[in-house]
Every structure is written in structure tokens, then in C-alpha cells.
Amino acid sequence: MRKVILLVLAALALAACGDTQPSTAISGIPSTTESVPDGPGRIVAISTVATEMLFAIGAGDQVVAVDSLSTFPADAPVTDLSGFEPNLEAILGFQPDLVVLSYDPGDVVAGLEAAGVESLLQEASMTIVDTYAQILALGEITSRVAEATALVGTMQAEMADLAASVTQRDEPLSYYHELDDTLYTVTSATFIGEVYALAGLVNAADPADADGSSWGYPQVSAEYLLDADPDIIFLADTKCCGQTAATIAERPGWGTLTAVSTDRIVELDDDVASRWGPRIVDFLRAIVDAVNSVG
């Protein structure tokens, strides 16, 4: 699982370097895909986020295979396909007419094109707007435009309502978001950081990557966190690394942290907290609930 986390960080860094084009038919974002006539009948998704998006817009019946980590929704046709090390021959074995992926090591998209198979590469979202754009692009290419547009509209409304429900404070609360138990985290410059900002939180890790050399995903030290003393700690490593409020409290010196001594440790679902798909609404809801529970 540690390898997966590092691969995700690498993919996010690559996406940050790329020329991503934010989107939308709903917020002034242009669309750049062309739909397959009547929609593709056999879709292979080797992206956990694409899988969630496809099912959320009602294209699940068209999906014949998804990668090994696409465990949501429960009825997704999980296979042993890898999203981090895509195997062209294995993908073609499912006879797809559309392949959606979030990472291409350099030859998969070209191989699919040579085989006459349509592909859609959607790299990691750098902003919430990018997420809406990807949903709309999938709606276009699967002939589910109305469904995708409705989903984006609902997400936008729910995100706005949640942001508006945050308790106003004289001084904003600070937070630390833990990606894994080696203390990789995120800054405000990331997609995840943008979600936290909607809840009015200040990121305690921002100074750790002030120059952006870690692409918003720095590894901090225990000493750094003890000095920063965040008001709330969010754990996005409960599945990958078995971290809980109890394990955090047992770390040397961590019992003195404000977040620990006041029981402000939030155990997140790793998948919800790391995927830029429809469940970002659930992610924001968990954050807002935690913020509003602080007296």
C-alpha cells in the first residue's frame, strides 16, 4: 500500500506539470471531447475516480471492467487490471470501445489508438472545477450529457450549502491532513487543500512547501507538527496504514498536541479523502461536521 501512495504522489506531481485544461459547460469551462455515437457499449475504466464518475452518471451498465482498486460502487466489475501499471494486452482482452484512464506511462494511449480503441485520459484534478469538467467530459463521450450536467449541478449546490453552514469564528482553526504514517501531507495548493479551504480552515503544512518544490505534497517531521500544533488532525490513512485516534495519541510527544488533548482527531475514509470524484461532497461534509463540532 505504501507503494500505491508514492505512485499516487508521483502521478499528482506529473499532473501538476502538465497542461491541464479546466472545464465546464456549467461554469464557463469549455468541453473538448467528442461523444461516441449512441455511447460506447464496452467501457474499461482503469481509474478509481473514472469508475465512480461513470456509475454516478448512469453509465455503469456500459462498464465491462475496472481496475483492481475500483472498489466503489460495490457493483463495479473489479478485475486485476492495474491503474498504475496499465497492461495494454490485458485491457484489450476485454474488447473495449472506450478506455478511461488517469495515468499513462507513455505507451498505453498510443497502443489503444493503434488498435482502433477510443481512450480518454483524465489526469488528477488540480482544482474542484477540474472535477466538474471531467464529469462533463465523461457525460459527453458516453452520451450521458444530461445526467452528467445534473450531477455537477447537484454537487455544486451541495458544496455551496456545506460551505455556507460552517460556523463563523474570530480566528480560523488550523488542520493537518495525514496521507500516510510517514507524515506525507498536503498543502492549500492541492485539490484536497481547496476542499479544506471551503470550511475556512488554515493548513498547518503550508510553510513546509512554501516554494512548491514538493508540488503541494510535502513530507513533514514529527517535530514540525509538534511546533505547528494544529487544532484538528484528519487521518486519511486509516485503511492503508491502520491509523486511528488511538495510534496517533501513542506517538511520542503527540499527546501534547491540541488536536489530541481535545479529542479532535477525525478518522476519514482513505478513498473518499483521496479521490476527486462525486464523493468530494462526502469529504467536505466530514470536514464541516468536524469544524462545527469544535466549541
* Region 177-190 average pLDDT: 97
Lowest pLDDT segment from 19-23, 111-115, 147-151, 260-264: 19-23
Quickly state the pLDDT bin for 43 (edges 50, 70, 90).
very high
CB-CB contact of 96 with 24 (8 Å)? no
Query: How far, in Å, CA of 177 to CA of 188, rounded?
Result: 11
The more confident residue out of 26 and 6 is 6
Q: Which residues contact 280 (CB under 8 A, 6 or more apart)?
A: 128, 131, 155, 159, 195
Cα 268 from Cα 273, distance rounded (Å): 7
- Which residues lie closer than 8 Å to 182 by C-beta, 6 or more apart? 2, 219
Q: What is the pLDDT of residues 199-214, one digit of tens each?
A: 999 999 999 999 999 9
Instruction: Give the strands of the sheet with 265-267, arranged side by side.
Output: 202-203, 174-178, 232-235, 265-267
Q: What is the pTM of this model?
A: 0.88
pLDDT value at 35 more than 90: no
Give the residue-averaged pLDDT of 234-246.
97
Which domains are delineated in the chain?
2-146 (3.40.50.1980), 165-292 (3.40.50.1980)
Query: Which helix (H) or strand (E) element contains residue 8?
Result: helix 2-17
- Count of CB atoms situated within 10 Å of the CB of 50: 29
Check whether 36 has a pLDDT greater than 80: no
Higher pLDDT, 35 or 67: 67
Please answer whether residues 188 and 220 qualify as being in contact, where contact means their C-beta atoms are separated by less than 8 angstroms.
no
Average pLDDT over residues 220-232: 97
In eight-state DSSP terms, residue 16 is: H
Report pLDDT for 37: 57
pLDDT band with cut points at 50, 70 and 90 for residue 30: very low
Q: In terms of residues, how long is the chain?
A: 295
